[in-house]
Amino acid sequence: MAAPVFWIDLGLTPDAGGIVSVSGEEARHAGQVVRLRVGERVDLVDGHGRRLEGTVHSISRDRLDVSVTRDIREPDPAPRIVVVQALAKGERGEQAVAAMTEVGVDVIVPWSAEHCVARWSGERAERGVAKWQTVARAAAKQARRSRVPDVRHVHSTAHLESLVASSSLALCLDESADVPLSTTVIPDHGDVVIMVGPEGGLSDAERARLVSWGAARVRLGPTVLRTSTAGPVGAALVLSRTPRWGASG
């Protein structure tokens, strides 16, 4: 079984004896929820690709001391998976964020598409992005990732042009497309951008703009998925055909 993961501050290093101390909520979670014992394996991660492997040296109510055995700097993901996720009503957006994080998505961009029922602006947008960031952090810990996805600010369709233009591949998930995602050649570098529309689907104008910027319209399969499901499934299909999941692309 994989070792449980706990967060550490960016830049934290072991002391002269190879011990790293974790305090606060993470230490309380380790002792009172996970109920770790001395000698058990743990991983400490900073959310940016660093992982300290070690064993519990000592543990108390508010402190976890870990004897570090390996200090790993995991390489930047290649290709990097960026999902542009249309806003969804209720908790479906948060469900999508959690599942995409578990799958391995690296960047999540909230998208205010034309047919979105949910609308974020002002303080509501700030709260929504903060909630997605919290969900991504919790899901990354559950998935034992060393990196937390970068949840960006809310984008309009116009804001997507630069994302599409700078990508190695941009895919627009569209149930009316003729080309299946499963036949698409996936690059092994740069950004692969996957755009997921709202429950009401993409407008004709949105399709035309995304294609004019260089996006390819693809379909996932013979069934129509919810917006909260399409992103994780699309990301998994892409990752399964890259070196990140052991494939050759």
pLDDT higher than 80, residue 18 = yes
In terms of domains, do 106 and 202 share one?
yes
Spatial distance between the Cα atoms of 147 and 149, rounded to a whole number of angstroms: 6
pLDDT-derived band at 247, boundaries 50, 70, 90: low
Instruction: Tell me what the mean pLDDT of segment 25-39 comes to.
Output: 89
Residues 247, 249: Cα–Cα separation, whole Å:
6
Task: Give the per-residue pLDDT at 248.
Answer: 54
Residues 67 and 85 in one domain: no
What pTM did the predictor assign?
A: 0.92
CATH of the domain at 147: 3.40.1280.10
Q: Are residues 38 and 89 in the same domain?
A: no
How far lies 234's CA from each of 28, 41, 81, 106, 172, in Å?
37, 34, 10, 14, 10
Domain-ending residue, one of 18, 47, 73 = 73
State pLDDT tens for residues 45-70.
999 999 999 999 999 988 999 999 99
Q: Cα separation of 148 and 171, whole Å?
A: 23
pLDDT-derived band at 14, boundaries 50, 70, 90: confident
Pick the more confident residue, 136 or 25: 136
Closest Cα to residue 42, out of 33, 51, 50? 51
pLDDT tens-digit series, residues 172-206: 999 989 999 999 999 999 999 999 999 888 999 99
Predicted pLDDT at 69: 93
Same domain, yes or no: 183 and 219: yes
Tell me, yes or no, whether 206 and 155 share the same domain.
Answer: yes
Domain of 65, in residue numbers? 5-73
Same domain membership, residue 50 and residue 20: yes
From residue 80, alpha-carbon distances to 45, 93, 105, 132 in Å are 19, 21, 8, 19
Same domain, 50 and 99: no
* The pLDDT of residue 227 is above 60: yes
- Give the distance between the most distant pair of CA atoms in the chain: 63
Last residue in a domain, options 73, 100, 123: 73
pLDDT digits (tens, 9 = 90+) for 149-171: 999 999 999 999 999 999 999 99
Domain ends where: 73, 95, 126? 73
Share of the chain above pLDDT 70, in %: 98
Is the confidence at residue 31, as pLDDT, over 90? no
pLDDT band at 16; cut points 50, 70, 90: low
| pLDDT at 127 > cutoff 60 | yes
Could you tell me the strand order of the sheet in which 80-86 lies?
150-151, 107-111, 80-86, 191-196, 169-173, 216-218
Is the same domain home to 50 and 101? no
Note whether 14 and 103 are same-domain residues. no
Predicted confidence (pLDDT) at residue 125 exceeds the cutoff of 60: yes
Distance of CA 208 to the CA centre of its chain: 28
Q: Name the most confidently modeled range: 33-37, 80-84, 222-226.
A: 80-84
Tell the residue number behind the tokens 């790993």, with chain if given. Answer: 72
Q: Are 42 and 69 in contact (CB under 8 A)?
A: no
Q: Tell me if 192 sits within 8 A of 233, measured CB to CB.
A: no
- Based on the fold, state whether residues 130 and 215 are members of the same structural domain: yes
The structural domain count of the chain equals: 2
**Do 150 and 96 share a structural domain?**
yes
Phi then psi dihedrals of residue 167, to 5 deg: -85, 160
